[in-house]
Structure 1
Amino acid sequence: MEAEKRGGIQELFAGIVKLLLLFVVLYFFMFAIKLMGAAFKMYGKDFAEMLMQRTANPVVGVFIGLLATALVQSSSCTTSIVVGLVAAGALTIGNAVPLIMGANIGTTVTNTLISMAHITRGAEFKRAFASATVHDFFNIIAVLFMLPLEMATGFLSRSAVWLEGLLVGTGGIEFVGPLDMILDPAVDYAKHLIGAHPWLLIAISFVIIYFSLKFLVDIMKSLVMSKIESYFNSYLFKTPLRAFVLGILFTVMVQSSSITTSLAVPLAGAGILTIQQIFPYTLGANIGTTITAMLAAMITASPAAISVAFAHFLFNAFGTILILPIRTVPPRMSVAFAEIAVKRKFLTISYIVVVFYLIPLAVILMMG
């Protein structure tokens, strides 16, 4: 009896230690994502701004938004530049909409890069890569639906301007994400120490992501033995609607869809969540990131900012509604692609380089 009691206490203590370790590793993981984004911005922001001014052709606009976001690793950064250009009169709201569509695709490169940390472990990599690319396939399908519709009718830009007209003059209290408060000081300190060498910041962030993901998967696998899997399955991700709402709320809280969706990658890799559970969560994250942008826009009370924020929200909202009849397609595509990628791992790197960088650059040079 005494031995059982002692064993129970030891098990509880071990569980608490693992949970604390999980939070520490999560901190380093999210810090590395923010650091990587900050480093890419040092390289890419001026180039991204120059790119965005070549947006007369909506198709080129999509690829410019995609490439610019893949370069700076942040759709929020791209959207902020778009807001500035619209406010300055360098861009119309009609030209801004394709950029936002492209930014939605470009931001998914972060997930795919993070899934690469699992590449040496076959089954794990297959699950992680599928969970990362389901976001890509959804956004690509949404653009294929919405871009021709926008080009034919202008309904997104018209609706955004109409909604902005209802809200001009709206002000508010600044919303500061709790994660920003604990991550930004560390990121700023790292930039202060080695900010003159962005390549070094990128290298450090990749190393931290690799090891933090490895530890995350190991810790979560051991915690699964303590019923965390049943908690995810029976509560947080029990239904698609619940996963969708969780994606919205968590993204609004952390103010980054990249962090929200990237956290699902190791959960998939560890086998805790399935692609069917992650997909609605990803859709929620897409909506959540636009709510954050709307809050920021209303704070500025800038008509340009509010128009762009509404265009972003409407694109994601309508994209989600339009995908419902074929909601099984993106998960099936990502799983099929992951099955190929796990056998031919060079395709993973080729996919990132070709889809996010080479194709957009080629289209911009040929059609821009």
Structure 2
Amino acid sequence: MGPARTTVAPLDDDERKKGNLVLSMVTPDDEKKEEDEEDPWALVAPPSKGKDWSDMTGSEKTRDVAVILVRVVLLFTLLYFFICSLNFLSDAFRLLGGKAAGQALSNNKILNNPISNLMMGILATVLLQSSSTTTSIVVTMVASSLLNVRQAIFIIMGANIGTSVTNTIVSVGQAGQRNEFRRAFAGATVHDMFNWLSVMCILPIEWITGAFGSWKDCGLLCQVTDAMTRSLHDTEKQETKKEMLKALTKPLTHLIIQLDKKVINKFAQNKADGNESLVKHMCKTTVPMAVMTSNGTCELQYVQSEEHCHFLFETLARSWSDQALGILLLVLSLAVLCLCLLLIVKLLHSLLRGKIATVLRSFVNAEFPGIFRHLTGYVAILLGAGFTMLVQSSSIFTSALTPLVGVGILHLERMYPLTLGANIGTTFTAILAALASDRNVFQKTLQVALAHLCFNIFGILIWYPVPAMRNVPISLAKMLGNITAKYRWFAFLYLVILFMFIPGIVFGLSVAGTVVLVSVGLPLFFLFVIIAIINIVQTKKPGVLPVKLRNWNFLPRPLRSLQPYDSMFTKLCSVCKCCVSDNDDD
């Protein structure tokens, strides 16, 4: 018996409204009538595997078990290389922009208001590809009195947004199949939506309470964390450093390249030579040495010494600049990342068939019974936080989950609380960095690290407990998934606009001064809010609007539809299958 065709549940009206919330660039003119189509957001039913286990002979059972074991080993091997490629990607971005990020963070002239601090946090984290690195640098700068706590809080808010770029890049690896890409991109961008929405709510409160309150230039988060750490001023520092996943990946990554991350801290503290390389040339090693004791016996002791590092890129680093080395490493890491992701998705498709897929899908999306059902999401938050603490990277954890959402095993509504937990878990690294700081600055550095934790907790309290609020980031992520499924080039445009263009423009306006920022930014912000509200009303209750505003047909086509841009991008990317529009075959 051949494999059965996958079936999914039909899309009802409420779900269609949630999944097709539109903004100014997506209108009914762009939307296809989907009444007869299958629900792209439903979990994918696993195809039949063939014979039932009870009908197999002994040799067939042995063969199936052996094949499954081989595939599981291959899957974990690919996951290992996938995680290593993420580390290489982070190193490549550090080589390309680490010095610039450190120098920018040290410039108090451009960090003159909360908006510029926020945008600097986004840009620095995109360049460093790690919110943990950004927050650790910020903690170090607070310890060196180069930043005050209030400035650091706004930079960390930006770092929280910038860290979500990695799993969004990973989702592009599933662009070959439309519905998989729809789900994967939504699973990745639900992280973006939560972070942006949290900043929109918490940043104004922090800014206003600090600027106009009676708290001496210290806002709500600043005050809360100050109260939490005030009694710890004279506490002995606790140096602790735990590496879980890195202990497994270091043997391979250190054979390829090793970076001295302290150099970025030096640039942030204005202590680095402009020509100093991020590539590590001298490595510490432990060597045995014979020492004569007082009683005349010879004793073997181990002492630390320095010697030239030995890794693949070390020879190249002597003659190549950091930027040239970063470009090479970026190309190689992206190639390995895409290859691993492609093979992982194929292996998941081959493994998740029959009863195995049914059991796994039921387990990861299971709900607690009865009155405890509403606690399921909170347990998922705790699990996400725990796993992220173990791997010490929210990017790695969410990037590993993104393909599962794409293939239809993990539901977007379950991905969301796991992502929120990852946001909490990633603050563990900054807390460890604060615990290792000097005693005289221990209170301030721990206060900054706890501000990161409190920001994420406050965001969760706003956007998770109430179902109506919880649906906002999920609906926005579904909207982005629908757009990218139809116009797959939009994913690249989204990455450039949301993580580089908008932060860069707003950062430039904020550096020009508060008056310039308010004069230009405030009208644009209100225009965006008005357009968003009109679109929501058009979707939910169009009858309350004037006839002309019930759709955007009165606007020129390029202002209300992505189709004209699709025609342009399709011509430019005609050789690239992932760029073509909805008219192509999967």
The bucket for the TM-score relative to the shorter chain is: over 0.9
Structure 2 equivalent of residue 298 of structure 1 = 435
* 1:1-368 alignment runs, 5 A limit: 4-52=57-105, 53=107, 54-153=110-209, 154-168=219-233, 169-172=235-238, 174-191=240-257, 192-194=311-313, 196=317, 197-225=325-353, 227-238=355-366, 239-300=376-437, 302-324=442-464, 325=466, 326-368=469-511
Matched AA of 1:250: F
1:79-106 C-alpha deviation (Å, 9 max, x unpaired): 1111122111111100111101111111
1:142-197 C-alpha deviation (Å, 9 max, x unpaired): 00000011012201112222222233425446242221111123222211323631
| CA spacing shift, 1:271–1:88, aligned 2, 3 Å | same
Matched AA of 1:139: N
Partners of 1:141 and 1:134 in 2: how far apart? 11
Residues 178, 254 of structure 1: 8 Å contact kept: yes
Report the RMSD for the aligned CA atoms in angstroms.
1.8
Report the alpha carbon displacement of residue 61 of structure 1 after superposing the two structures with TM: 1.0
Matched AA of 1:358: F
Residues 171, 184 of structure 2: 8 Å contact kept: yes
Residues 67, 360 of structure 1: 8 Å contact kept: yes
Partners of 2:131 and 2:408 in 1: how far apart? 29
Partners of 2:181 and 2:333 in 1: how far apart? 20
Partners of 2:482 and 2:422 in 1: how far apart? 25
Secondary structure class of the residue paired with 1:193: coil
Deviates more, 1:253-262 or 1:166-175: 166-175
Residues 170, 298 of structure 1: 8 Å contact kept: no
Matched AA of 2:478: V
Deviates more, 1:358-367 or 1:204-213: 358-367
Report the alpha carbon displacement of residue 75 of structure 1 after superposing the two structures with TM: 0.4
Matched AA of 2:496: V
Report the alpha carbon displacement of residue 231 of structure 1 after superposing the two structures with TM: 4.4
Partners of 1:60 and 1:228 in 2: how far apart? 50
Residues 173, 341 of structure 2: 8 Å contact kept: yes
Report the alpha carbon displacement of residue 274 of structure 1 after superposing the two structures with TM: 1.4
Partners of 1:216 and 1:273 in 2: how far apart? 15
Residues 239, 435 of structure 2: 8 Å contact kept: no
Report the alpha carbon displacement of residue 50 of structure 1 after superposing the two structures with TM: 2.4
Matched AA of 1:212: C
Matched AA of 2:57: E
| CA spacing shift, 1:230–1:3, aligned 2, 3 Å | closer
| CA spacing shift, 1:157–1:9, aligned 2, 3 Å | same
Partners of 1:3 and 1:127 in 2: how far apart? 35
Runs of 4+ in 1 over 3 A off after TM superposition: 170-173, 226-237
Q: Which has the larger radius of gyration?
A: 2
Secondary structure class of the residue paired with 1:148: helix
Report the alpha carbon displacement of residue 306 of structure 1 after superposing the two structures with TM: 0.8
Partners of 1:13 and 1:170 in 2: how far apart? 55
Matched residues, number: 368
Residues 121, 155 of structure 2: 8 Å contact kept: yes
Report the alpha carbon displacement of residue 299 of structure 1 after superposing the two structures with TM: 3.6
Report the alpha carbon displacement of residue 214 of structure 1 after superposing the two structures with TM: 1.0
Secondary structure class of the residue paired with 1:90: coil
Residues 236, 242 of structure 1: 8 Å contact kept: no
Higher helix share: 1
Matched AA of 2:312: L
Partners of 1:304 and 1:232 in 2: how far apart? 45
Residues 86, 396 of structure 2: 8 Å contact kept: yes
Deviates more, 1:219-228 or 1:90-99: 219-228
Partners of 1:211 and 1:227 in 2: how far apart? 28
Secondary structure class of the residue paired with 2:119: helix
Residues 236, 243 of structure 1: 8 Å contact kept: no
Partners of 1:318 and 1:232 in 2: how far apart? 32
Matched AA of 2:460: T
Residues 60, 364 of structure 1: 8 Å contact kept: yes
| CA spacing shift, 1:12–1:254, aligned 2, 3 Å | same
Partners of 2:463 and 2:478 in 1: how far apart? 17
1:196-241 C-alpha deviation (Å, 9 max, x unpaired): 3111111111111111111111111222125444444443442323
Matched AA of 1:162: A
Secondary structure class of the residue paired with 1:177: coil
Normalising by structure 1, we get a TM-score of 0.95
Partners of 1:327 and 1:135 in 2: how far apart? 12
Partners of 2:427 and 2:365 in 1: how far apart? 22
Report the alpha carbon displacement of residue 140 of structure 1 after superposing the two structures with TM: 0.2
Report the alpha carbon displacement of residue 291 of structure 1 after superposing the two structures with TM: 2.7
Normalising by structure 2, we get a TM-score of 0.60
| Unmatched 5+ stretches in structure 1 | none
| Unmatched 5+ stretches in structure 2 | 1-53, 210-218, 258-310, 318-324, 367-375, 512-586
Partners of 1:249 and 1:162 in 2: how far apart? 26
Residues 171, 181 of structure 2: 8 Å contact kept: yes
Deviates more, 1:292-301 or 1:322-331: 292-301
1:265-295 C-alpha deviation (Å, 9 max, x unpaired): 1111111111111000000100111133223
Residues 69, 78 of structure 1: 8 Å contact kept: yes
